[in-house]
Amino acid sequence: MNWFCYILRCADDTLYCGITNDLDKRLAAHNTGTASKYTRVRLPVDLVFAETCADRSTASKREMEIKGLKREDKLELIKLTAASENQ
């Protein structure tokens, strides 16, 4: 089972980072307001970054790393990931 660390861009342009083992289901839950208090009042949300992780522990560690980044660094991570996917 794959785990994912992901970043959402909320309607108010804030970023939210989380982990899941079912990315589609979790994104749907965020957009229906049932996934987190933070995103519930900032709908809709868009998935802007997702990284596959080997297990829950790895995903949680990556989430903590990303949450520790400054906003500018998170935006750069998102930009670099999008650029590499377009190549």
pTM of the model: 0.93
In angstroms, the CA 37 to CA 8 distance is 14
Whether 60 contacts 68, CB under 8 Å: no
Residues in the chain: 87
Give the pLDDT of the chain (87 residues) as one tens digit per residue: 799 999 999 999 999 999 999 999 999 999 999 999 999 999 999 999 999 999 999 999 999 999 999 999 999 999 998 877 766
- Report the 3 state secondary structure along 38-86: HHHCCCCEEEEEEEEECCHHHHHHHHHHHHCCCHHHHHHHHHHHHHHHC
Predicted pLDDT of residue 86: 67
Predicted pLDDT of residue 66: 98
Domains and CATH numbers, the chain: 3-85 (3.40.1440.10)
